[in-house]
Structure 1
Amino acid sequence: MRTTNTELGRLEGLLFFPVTAFTPEGSFDAAGYRAHVEARLADGPAAVFAACGTGEFPALAPAEYEECVRVAVEAAGSAGRRVPVLGGTGYGTALAVEYARAAQRAGAQGLLVFPPSGADGGQAGLAAHYRALAEATPLSLILYQRDQLAFTPQTVAELAAVPNIVGLKDGRGDLDLMQRIVSAVRTAGIEDFQYFNGMPTAEATQRAYRAIGVPLYSSAVFCFAPDIALAFHGALERGDSALLDRLVDVFFRPYVELRRAHPGYAVSLVKALTVAAGHPVGGVRAPLTEPDPAHVEAATALVQAAREALA
């Protein structure tokens, strides 16, 4: 049985996916980004996933990406406790390797690996892509299935045997497939592989994911309402079904319905609400568009309703 990468370690707790700050002119705002990351680090997340989906990874130029990860690493290092930082990487194998090396130079401990784009080589091609990336970097890698990409259980079990491939994040929502993946990896004798719920607003589905052996999840809500995100996570840990139901009914269900009102709201609405919460992180980059102000107002009202319910 292989062992978990010792630098990253086993993740436990709420995972923070910060938005990436831009200036009014549209360039990367290192100071604004650091302020956002440091503010949320004070709330005690288990890890920071910098320049990933919520952080608009596809919109960042390579130099911006490396600076973004470096700022997150510096902020995490200056926090009261050491918090691991993971960067995103993606595209084809050659570019994924370049981003991986940039994250390594910036001091990251791991990588969330977005699906490869531009070609479909089937499961054999996927396995070759991820093996090549694992050989090119010592960083811990988390596989990410979403959109058009789905792993078979056998492919995940094979890749889970690679020492620095340490987990799988699911952004597809196919619980039947995830149950079979968890079973296949367990049957292969790999007990330290980690699973993440990567659905937009993962809190809405996390009880179902946890029931099949997927304990970790990414919380975009933590960016703009850490108190609500932490209250949900705490209730989940305690098994407080009454509070979980109340938060789903008052906030998460109507928020998800609002988030579905327009493409891209899984990022742009989160960013607008982060600004509304007092963090000047700027707008989104094309092809994303700014959310309807009425939708931002409605989402802000949901945040207030959730806080009243918690009070």
Structure 2
Amino acid sequence: MIGVGLATSTDTDTDTAGERATDTAGERATDTVGRLRDGMARGVLSFPLTSFHADGSLDEDGFRAHLAVQLASGPGAVFPACGTGEFFSLDEGEYRAVVTAAVEETAGRVPVVAGVGYGWAQAARFARIAEEAGADALLVLPHYLVAAPQDGLVAQLEALAARTRLPLIAYQRGPVAYSPDALRRIARVPGVVGLKDGHGDLDRLQRLTLAAPEGFLFFNGASTAELQARAYTAVGVPAYSSAVHAFAPEIANAFFAALRDGDDGTTTALLRDFYGPLAGIRDRVPGYAVSLVKAAARLRGRPVGPVRAPLTDPSPGDLAELRALLSTGLALVGATP
């Protein structure tokens, strides 16, 4: 066949353009990883709430106001439209508005890592939107419904990585739990730069950290992550996301500083008198991990609105208990309710 194996000028141009795009994507990933590492050492990771009006429609102005408070408290990075931000309830237009607003409000001060999820094909659609909006990286939320073998979990990330130039952070939670061998494989996928762990299985997590290449990012993404922060730090994963930061950054930052500085008295007091009781309320109703956070933000006067179905807002009794606990937590760190 004539021409097989011969590059035309068009082929060469295309190849060169592809190489330039690959180089640019690699440089961007390296820069993003560096910024994330610096941010993770400096403060908690912020997962802002998505604001809704009383009728359930998106409140972009409310989201921007909420995010401004988050940014003023100095988080290490911002993760919009993730689990706490009710990614699962956003359509593509709303998702674009939220991620765009996050990029504009942060104005480059900290990395913006947007959530994507469902199957890889849908995740790729959200990834394209996030890339167009100017996000720095993506958090890949667990896939929808089905259980999958390790080969499938790896293939899922490979398929998504091939369709975006943004760095990817895998999130293992629910049906997703990587083996050390699978971790080695995903770490070799171009663009996959880290892992968020939501299982709290420290034996497995230690094996994963030992299997990972140097520079691979890990952070604690367990519910009410502060409760396990000491244990995660012991296996080499000191960075964590903080849902409390979404409504009481004063408490979240005080705990982070105490843990970092070895102030066991303050750390223990906050765990015993605030974080432990908060988790107790959280465990009463499925979905309270988000609903309580949003309710507490409303108690602080933040314009975040209600949760969307299938989540439900806290009962009056739980809300009253939350109000008292919030006052206790703020008093512990010398903050104003």
What residue is the counterpart of 2:137 in the other structure? 110
| CA distance in structure 2 between the partners assigned to 1:4 and 1:102 by the alignment | 17
What residue is the counterpart of 1:34 in the other structure? 64
What residue is the counterpart of 2:112 in the other structure? 85
Tell me: CA distance 1:251–1:118, structure 2 relative to 1, closer, same or farther (3 Å): closer
Equivalent of 1:156 in 172, 177, 183:
183
Is 1:43 equivalent to 2:73 in the alignment? yes
Name structure 1 gaps, 5 residues minimum: none
Deviates more, 1:299-308 or 1:214-223: 299-308
| CA distance in structure 2 between the partners assigned to 1:3 and 1:150 by the alignment | 29
What residue is the counterpart of 1:254 in the other structure? 277
| SS state at 1:108 partner | coil
| SS state at 1:258 partner | helix
Matched-pair contact (CA < 8 Å) for 1:22–1:282: yes
| CA distance in structure 2 between the partners assigned to 1:127 and 1:292 by the alignment | 41
| SS state at 2:78 partner | strand
Matched-pair contact (CA < 8 Å) for 2:112–2:137: yes
Deviates more, 1:118-127 or 1:132-141: 118-127
What residue is the counterpart of 2:91 in the other structure? 61
Equivalent of 1:202 in 225, 228, 233:
225
What residue is the counterpart of 2:5 in the other structure? none
Matches within 5 A, 1:265-304: 265-304=288-327
The Cα shift of 1:121 comes to: 4.1
Equivalent of 2:205 in 167, 178, 186:
178
| CA distance in structure 2 between the partners assigned to 1:242 and 1:115 by the alignment | 36
AA of the residue aligned to 1:224: F
AA of the residue aligned to 2:262: G
Deviations 1:64-112 (A, max 9, x none): 11111000110000xxx61111110111111011011111011100111
Matched-pair contact (CA < 8 Å) for 2:251–2:329: yes
The Cα shift of 1:3 comes to: 8.6
Bigger fraction of residues in helix: 2
Which has the greater radius of gyration? Answer: 2
| SS state at 2:157 partner | helix
The Cα shift of 1:168 comes to: 0.5
Deviations 1:135-163 (A, max 9, x none): 11111111011112211111011111223
Runs of 4+ in 1 over 3 A off after TM superposition: 118-121
The Cα shift of 1:9 comes to: 2.8
| CA distance in structure 2 between the partners assigned to 1:120 and 1:248 by the alignment | 34
What is the aligned-residue identity percentage? 49
| CA distance in structure 2 between the partners assigned to 1:104 and 1:19 by the alignment | 20
| SS state at 2:240 partner | strand
The Cα shift of 1:308 comes to: 2.2
AA of the residue aligned to 1:94: A
TM-score by length of 1: 0.94
AA of the residue aligned to 1:297: A
Q: Which has the higher contact order (CA 8 A, sep 6+)?
A: 1
Matched-pair contact (CA < 8 Å) for 1:3–1:192: no
Is 1:136 equivalent to 2:159 in the alignment? no
What residue is the counterpart of 2:154 in the other structure? 127
What residue is the counterpart of 1:212 in the other structure? 235
| CA distance in structure 2 between the partners assigned to 1:271 and 1:254 by the alignment | 17
Deviates more, 1:266-275 or 1:119-128: 119-128
